[in-house]
Amino acid sequence: MATPSGNAVSKLDIPVAQSQPNMDSPSQDPAAQDKPKPIRTRPQKPNYFLIHSKPLPLQTYPLPAFVPQNPLSLLRIAYIYLSQLISAPSSHPKHLITGIFSPETNSVHITDHASIRALWEMGFFGKGTLSRSEPSWLDREKARLKASKHGGGTAEENTRKRREERKLFKLERARAEAEQIEETLRKERAALESATEEIDEKRVDEIAVSHVFPWMQEQQQKEEDVEFKEETKTVPTGDPKSEEPTTNIVEVPILPTGTTIHTSGTPATETDIATTTLPKKEEEEEAPITNQEHLQLNLEESFFLTYALGALRILDPATSSPIPTSSLLQLFRQHSYFPTAAPTSLRPDDPFLLNYIVYHHYRSLGWVVRPGVKFSCDFLLYNRGPVFSHAEFALLIIPEYAEGSVEHRQGKGRLGWWWLHCVNRVQSQVKKSLVIVYVKVPEKVPEVGVDGDTDIGALLRGYEVREFVIKRWLANRSRD
């Protein structure tokens, strides 16, 4: 392209900004300027990705990323790797999380608030004793007190109130329908009775009084007039010499709450009322709320945090001394039975061993494992946690015995098809996939001594896990 001056101009020299609208300039549409911004009515949700960024209650030290365009990043990676290799930093905090074993509830209680938040935010361990899942009783109690003070209520209270109103409305509607039916039946009976042309006795009495005894009607009218005059009689407060009494109306001011009025013969003035007004109490400062909730860990979670991660220390409720890991395994095996089993009666297929094998297996694979008694299963598997999405899989644990063993001949671990179809139907209704987890039970397991010489890892490696996913087959959805 040539210009009148003869200089060639390239397409890159043409200013493009002139053809595009300026984004920094204000909008030319007056309707868009006058339009008010929408007001946020709902509170903003917390950033769960930042709160639950750590999958386990451990401190990790990842190496920096390698940038191919920057060769110095490789030197930085080598320096950090060598420094951590020479003096490796600890992944555990200085003070371990402390819990107390409760033989009454077969669980471990955590009472420290910082430890409670750490266990829930880093792996979703435990359950609040006064909450559904997350230990949020203190926050809900503060919201309830604030709502009761300023009016309104919490979400739970509003839901409960709506349910009560709906229940009362249904009862009132049923009562009104019953009264309407009864009134209709009464009118129909009255219509049938009026067809007989009977004279009402009360009407006969009124006719007799008005025609036969007119003086009784006049006396009754006089008595009603006297009663009306006594009710509407006013007290004369004007000039006593005047024939017509005048009524003096005294205006009484509206008094604040807490005012005491001393009655006497003379009307009270505003000065007397001001002197008798009680001083207004100052608003008392809100007393701090004591957190009455603690975190409750089941046996599998407690042993995983103690043995696999080393982030928990469990104390004996009688002596307040830490329980060794080997003794803790035997203690949990005993309390997995009801009533508590003796140490000599423990078997390789103890409920605690079977549950912990499955729990440890899926936790090591990165799943968040939660109890599944709500959905008629043993465990629920979450991809990241309950606050991000619903559980995807429901686990059912079935022990598998070696062929020829006494348990295999007795048919232990075999479940009927009717039971399996019922459980599978429940999981399909809640949109979860049913996973049957077979745990192969060894014939013998090494005994765990109190001195801790027994290798717990060797004990756990004697078990094998096999899993099968079962889906409910629907004929109308599987047709071609």
Tens of pLDDT, residue by residue over 13-44, are 444 444 444 444 445 555 555 666 666 666 67
> CA Rg, the chain, in Å?
41
Beta bridge partners of 464: 440
DSSP track, 53-92: --SSSS---PPPPP-TT-THHHHHHHHHHHHHHHSPPPSS
Catalytically annotated residues: 382, 390, 432
The answer, yes or no, to whether residue 234 has pLDDT greater than 80, is no
* Per-residue pLDDT at 104: 92
How confident is the model over 286-290, as a mean pLDDT? 75
In sequence order, what are the beta bridge partners of 313? Answer: 98
How far apart are the C-alpha atoms of 148 and 156, rounded to whole Å?
13
- Residue 254 tokens read as 């509206």
Q: How far apart are CA 324 and CA 133, in angstroms?
A: 29
**For the chain, which domains are there?**
48-86 (no CATH), 338-480 (3.40.1350.10)
Q: Which tens digit of pLDDT belongs to each residue from 368-419?
A: 999 999 999 999 999 999 999 999 999 999 999 988 787 777 777 778 888 8
Q: What is the pLDDT of residue 395?
A: 96
Query: How many Å apart are CA 64 and CA 66, to the nearest integer?
Result: 7
Residues paired with 102 in a beta bridge: 107
Whole-model pTM: value is 0.66
The span from the CA of 161 to the CA of 167, in Å, is 10
CB 445 within 8 A of CB 462: yes
Among 205-209, 354-358, 435-439, the range scoring the smallest mean pLDDT is 205-209
